[in-house]
Amino acid sequence: MRWGIIGVGSVTERKSGPGFQQAERSELVAVMRRNGELAADYARRHNVPRWYDDADELINDPEVDAVYIATPPESHRDYVVRVAQAGKPVYVEKPMARTALECEDMISACEAAGVGLFVAYYRRAMPRFATVKELLDRGRIGQLRSVSIRNERPGEAGEADSEGWRVNPEISGGGHFVDLGSHVLDLLDWLLGPVTSAAGIATNNGARYRAEDLVAGVFSFRSGVEGVGVWNYDSFQHKDRVEIIGTAGSLCFSCFAEDPLRLRTRRGVEQIQAPYPEIVQLPLIQNVVNVLTGHAESISDGHSAVRTTRVIDGLLADYRDTHGINYAPATPAQAGLAHPSGTSPRHAD
């Protein structure tokens, strides 16, 4: 699979970009960024043959088989539709889009074009969380009953400027809850089954930016597990903890750090080392390549990812309404869906 990347920002430097070069049966052949100098710099540093400053040029490059979209969420829908119309599979960053409606447009476009749609909820493929799933599936803590989530970090003055688009709900879909909480919710969707009902509240107490900074929710999962979660980004402390409790023990782990897993049973507490891989997205990228080359089934696609976005939409609905945050569907002109004319690529020196 010959890949092109749209949006070679910071996430592509180590988390994802090198994964397309290191995965088997995969190579990275082109990158795009609106700032051509930055695109050229990325191509030189990562030994990528071609670079572009126009997304449509990359999408229509005949030597690009599949496209990875690593832009902020506001543009995910539009780029996915364009890639699908070009007849190419697409791997898109998380969160999949700002709203479930945008996600559904993306799914429909890819299904109509007969191309694959994959979403970068890469924890589903990481060995660390495969170990968590294996422990649960083997019944090490008995029958699963409940889960609790705590994700906290202190608020800081000037955070809206330092965090940029991540706390601008028009661009990101929300604040840190959408950026970080989506990872947790998708991981639990994989471990415990889809959420069947959710309720909660979102507020903004720190008033450093327009997005929510605290979300509290209760969840029911298809497996029968009941859950509670608090995402507080105006706290005095850093906290990253997920605890799953069963009839014979509990399993506690961090979602964003490499702390050992803590398995507690009647025999005592066992600490299990479960580090991150050097390139965190490589295991999922390999799964996507395997799917596209006929060697595997997908573990993170549009249909699984939209479930997480629906949960987020439900928890943030009242907050969005009261704060005038509205995501009106884009018109065809706004979405830029007309076919562009082809132009020549820029080559890395």
d(CA 160, CA 210): 9
For residue 156, the model assigns a pLDDT of 84
Q: Which of 154-158, 198-202, 246-250, 303-307 has the lowest mean pLDDT?
A: 154-158
Q: Which of 2-16, 252-266, 325-339 has the lowest mean pLDDT?
A: 325-339
Q: Are 86 and 62 in contact (CB under 8 A)?
A: no
d(CA 291, CA 299): 9
Q: Which of 40-44, 47-51, 163-167, 274-278 has the lowest mean pLDDT?
A: 163-167
Q: Before 95, cis peptide (omega within 30)?
A: yes
Tokens of 28: 């990275």
Domain range summary for the chain, segments of one domain joined by +: 2-123+282-300+321-347, 127-272
Across the chain, what does the average pLDDT equal?
94
For residue 349, the model assigns a pLDDT of 46
For residue 158, the model assigns a pLDDT of 79
In the chain, the N- to C-terminal Cα span, in Å, equals: 23
Section 52-66 average pLDDT: 98
Confidence of residue 337 (pLDDT cuts 50, 70, 90): very low
Residue 334 has pLDDT above 60, yes or no: no
Q: Residues of 4-39 as b/e, b for ≥16 C-beta within 10 angstroms?
A: bbbbbeebbeebbbbbbbebeebebbbbbbeeeeeb
Share of the chain above pLDDT 70, in %: 94
What letter represents residue 132's amino acid?
V
For residue 347, the model assigns a pLDDT of 57
Confidence of residue 346 (pLDDT cuts 50, 70, 90): low
Share of the chain above pLDDT 90, in %: 91
d(CA 54, CA 129): 37
For residue 4, the model assigns a pLDDT of 98
Q: Which of 5-14, 200-209, 237-246, 334-343 has the lowest mean pLDDT?
A: 334-343
pTM over 0.85: yes
Confidence of residue 348 (pLDDT cuts 50, 70, 90): low
Q: Are 241 and 150 in contact (CB under 8 A)?
A: yes
Residue 332 has pLDDT above 80, yes or no: no
Section 229-238 average pLDDT: 97
Residue 162 has pLDDT above 80, yes or no: no
Residue 339 has pLDDT above 90, yes or no: no
Section 186-197 average pLDDT: 98
Q: Convert the pLDDT of each residue in 104-152 to its tens digit.
A: 999 999 999 999 999 999 999 999 999 999 999 999 999 999 999 999 9
Residue 343 has pLDDT above 50, yes or no: no
Confidence of residue 287 (pLDDT cuts 50, 70, 90): very high
Classify domain 127-272 at the CATH topology level.
Answer: Dihydrodipicolinate Reductase; domain 2 (3.30.360)
Confidence of residue 328 (pLDDT cuts 50, 70, 90): confident
2-123+282-300+321-347 sits in which CATH class?
alpha beta
Residue 65 has pLDDT above 90, yes or no: yes
